[in-house]
Amino acid sequence: MKKITIKNPLDMHLHLRDEQMLKVVAPLSSQNFSGAIIMPNLVPPVTSIKELKNYKNRIKKAIGDDNFKPYMTLFFKDSYDYKFLKKAKKHITAIKLYPAGITTNSEGGVDNLDVESLKMTLDAMSELKIPLLVHGESDGFVMDRESEFAVVYETLAVSFPKLKIVMEHITTKTSADLLDKFPNLYATITLHHLYLILDDVAGGMLKPHLFCKPIAKRYEDRDALLNLALNAHPKVMFGSDSAPHPVDKKESCGCAAGVFTAPIALQALAQLFEQNKKLKNLQKFVSDNAIHIYEIKPRKKEITLVKKDYKVPSSYGDVVPMFAGESLSWSLEE
């Protein structure tokens, strides 16, 4: 196959940041995707309808005339009640829960994951059919954090059976196995976790632009993710978790967590799916499954990829992408 057209490609987990960074990276997603779930962990986080509307307006200004819909989210607070969420529903697609301090700009996240502490908000979300998106990591040993969080997913799934719960950017076989155990659990999978294991990040010289949270794991974990994505499991969808940081924040002694993949995601996914003889499933993974899970009607948009080598730029502004300076076997059609 020398050409493939993807209808309405969607990125169901995207960081656009704000201010100058927003201006640089937003068009790199809006050019190639029909829409994206936008993360709310700004500084300060997006917790009110006013803040959300202002952020959405800044995104729209940054993308110009591109045919792209930002699906907005609020930063989870256990103080959100039914009255507030009913007003917020028409402005949001989901709400994102971060354990406090577990990743970039999550200091204002949830300290207590006890069901009773979350009950008011999660009951209201269940009733209003607002999906819950979760960064699922404990504060334990870094390689075990996601697996340790599995018990929280199990508790939430059982305690709130009507609540649609999305396990964000899963990285372990443990999380992959949960999908078929609970009907209300779903997942996003990133590009970089389909390609990387921890050895790729730190097995030789440290590669700061491949460092992210959750950290890349073992061969068996990557294999479990590949099995889900390549076979377009109906409960998984593409979420890039594309997370830009300027070079001085990545190439430093306090390396910021995040891999920037937005402008090369579709090309790299096509390469991966073709290598595994699963190119026919790419449409489901990057669009159809998400449309069904979120019950959304995306902007109509077609992106055509051609079998032609594409050299990834060394940087986009002050941000270095995954595969910088390397060649991918698929390109976006001009």
Give catalytic residue positions. 241
Region of 232 (left: φ > 0; alpha: ψ -120 to 50; beta: rest) is left
Q: In the chain, count of helices (H) and strands (E)?
A: 14, 14
Structure tokens, 112: 């207590």
| Pairing mode, strands 302-306 and 310-311 | unpaired
Close Cβ partners of 275 (under 8 Å, ≥ 6 residues apart): none
Length of the chain: 334
Burial class (CB in 10 A: 0-12, 13-18, 19+), 15: buried
Residues contacting residue 176 through CB under 8 Å, at least 6 positions apart: 170, 187, 224, 225, 227, 228
d(CA 179, CA 197): 22
The SS3 call for residue 293 is helix
CA distance 173 to 20: 38
Of 305, 282, 209, nearest in space to 3 by CA: 305
Question: Which residues are 189's β-sheet partners?
Answer: 238
10 Å Cβ neighbour count for 125?
25
Token pair in block for residue 224:
């479990």
Burial 163-177 (b: 16+ CB within 10 A, else e): bbbbbbbbbbbbbbe
